[in-house]
Amino acid sequence: MAADSPTTAGTGLAGAIFPVTVEAALGRFGFRTTLRALSVGLFLLTFPLLKFVKPRIPPAVGAGRRRFDLSFLWSPVFLLFQLAGIMQGLGYFIPIVGQPAKPLPNVRLI
């Protein structure tokens, strides 16, 4: 409950600022430079926050480090779920973030 308000406020703020900023950057720098700048910017904003991410379950006392098994990455079921998750994410996130900029040219604020 406590994280819902900042998350919603951040999404609303980003929905108001992000499309206008990206559209201006696309017009000025082109899509290649804009996408690279966005990826670097998002990395620089989120990487320092990794320090504050806490594990859901505290590490067991006395447990040794086990070898990390990545064999599941090539499982057909995992790949199918990954593809479905990416497609769902693209279909949901991009329209929600880009939508607030569409009605702005028709709205008269003054």
pLDDT of residue 92: 67
Phi/psi of residue 100, each to 5°? -60, -20
Tell me: the pLDDT tens digits for 91-105?
Answer: 766 555 555 555 555
Q: What is the pTM of this model?
A: 0.46
pLDDT of residue 4: 72
Phi/psi of residue 69, each to 5°? -95, 115
- Given a cut of 50, the residues of the chain with pLDDT beneath it are none
